[in-house]
Amino acid sequence: MSIDTFRAEIREYIAEHCPDSMKNRALHFEDAHETYSTPDADKWLKAMAAKGLTAPTWPKEYGAAGLSYEENRVYQEELAAAKALPPLAGMGTAMIGPTLLEFGTDEQKARHLPKIVSGEVRWCQGYSEPGSGSDLASLQTKAVIEGDHFVINGQKIWTSGAQHADWMFALVRTDPNAAKHDGISFVLLDMHQKGVTIKPIQLISGSSPFCETFFDDAIARRDDLVGELNKGWTVGKRLLQYERSAAPPARNKNQKKPVNAFAEVAREAFGERNGKINNTDARDNVIRQTMSEKALKLTVERVTDESRSGKAPGATTSIFKYVGSTLSKEGSSLKSQLRGSDGVGWEGDEFSEDAISATRGWLRDRAVTIYGGTNEVQLNIIAKRVLGLPD
């Protein structure tokens, strides 16, 4: 099939199956579960999962679409052109799936991947512990082999979506006498068992996007050890690189020039003179932000093009994580700043829905330079692993 025919077909399929309520909206970390818990979201998921489009590039043997690099690019462009949310989002497709494709046994892939593609099983990440965040390798949750399973005791924290998850991928200490980065293993465990207790952490906003997770003699099957025993650090690090490499969507070359949201907000606040934003500082800030975002997007596209061979991501993903999260935070601060007093609207009739949502977005974006490794940690990785600077 030619790429043009493929584009026409995928466009038609999206138009036919994407409900209006799954279009023209942003996906936020805090309310992602609610966004994907509606009958419309379920319809959208089922229609796309039937064609494997929930995990477009994974092999067909796992129920995925097996799209080529070029076909996937077209598919992402058509989703963006339709302003449609992805049919499935989360740690299954973005993190553990690619990690299993690289490190999993054939049996693990056959058992876990089809349920990720269908959206039947949701995953959470058991990495951080109280006292082990940036210094993740100091983690203390212990796993002991007993017959054909591991017995796990300890605690994880900041486990996003644990209360909605069916399975967890976790880093656990399997050799307490080994050096810090050794003696860690990467295991998969069922969240619906009596040894697992979940306590949602309530935020000031009232929502609970993440939890504390306690293990009291929780069980992981021995054949759910991913990679070698005591060599889980390598697997865990690669998963983080998949997390950090989540690239912004490619732009559809047929699409009209996208609206510049910063310029719109600035025009609304300061008006226009001779076709320009009527405030020099605002104009400078909008131009600087827009150029930086564009430069990042082009760089990500170039690197993605260069690595079309399907090579696994490396330490350079830390550059994208660092620049992307910093720009995202600066962008939402700029929008709030441009709005003036409207930029701190939290609730009440005097603020528009747009202004309230922007303030919440600005606060929410404080988190982007923390999860998946803080900015300082990314700088350390870039210094050591990309630039080769001494410790």
Q: Does 361 bind ligand FAD (CB under 6 A)?
A: no
Q: Is 30 a catalytic residue?
A: no
How far apart CA 181 and CA 52 sit, in angstroms, is 37
Our CB check for ligand FAD shows the closer of 155 and 160 to be: 160
Q: Does 380 bind ligand FAD (CB under 6 A)?
A: yes
Which one of 77, 78, 243, 293 is the catalytic residue?
Answer: 243
| Nearest alpha carbon to residue 320 among 338, 333, 332, 307 | 307
Residue 364 and residue 30 in contact, taking contact as beta carbons nearer than 8 Å: yes
Q: Does 374 bind ligand FAD (CB under 6 A)?
A: yes
Min. distance of Cβ 162 from ligand FAD in angstroms? 8
How far apart CA 163 and CA 156 sit, in angstroms, is 13
Quote the distance between the C-alpha of residue 204 and its chain's center: 23
Q: Does 150 bind ligand FAD (CB under 6 A)?
A: no
Q: Does 383 bind ligand FAD (CB under 6 A)?
A: no
- Binds ligand FAD by CB under 6 A, chosen from 76, 125, 174, 325: 125
What count of other Cβ atoms lies within 10 Å of the Cβ of residue 233? 19
Q: Does 233 bind ligand FAD (CB under 6 A)?
A: no
| Nearest alpha carbon to residue 227 among 217, 239, 243 | 239
Tokens at residue 10, please?
């995928």
Q: Does 328 bind ligand FAD (CB under 6 A)?
A: no
Min. distance of Cβ 164 from ligand FAD in angstroms? 12
Report the site for ligand FAD in 179-218 (rule: CB under 6 A): 210
Min. distance of Cβ 157 from ligand FAD in angstroms? 7
Tokens at residue 61, please?
């043997």
Residue 140 and residue 132 in contact, taking contact as beta carbons nearer than 8 Å: yes
| Among 123-131, 287-295, 314-322, 329-337, the segment contacting ligand FAD (CB under 6 A) | 123-131
* Residue-wise DSSP of 77-146: HHHHHTTBPPS--SHIIIIIHHHHHHH--HHHHHHHHHHHHTT-S-EEEE--BTTBSTTGGG---EEEEE
How far apart CA 268 and CA 352 sit, in angstroms, is 13
| Among 147-155, 257-265, 288-296, 371-379, the segment contacting ligand FAD (CB under 6 A) | 371-379
Report the site for ligand FAD in 10-29 (rule: CB under 6 A): 29
Q: Does 367 bind ligand FAD (CB under 6 A)?
A: yes
Min. distance of Cβ 246 from ligand FAD in angstroms? 14
Residue 297 Cα distances to 223, 303, 311, angstroms: 40, 10, 20
The residues carrying an active-site annotation are 243
- What residues line the site for ligand FAD (CB under 6 A)? 29, 124-128, 133-134, 158-160, 210, 367, 370-371, 373-374, 376-377, 380
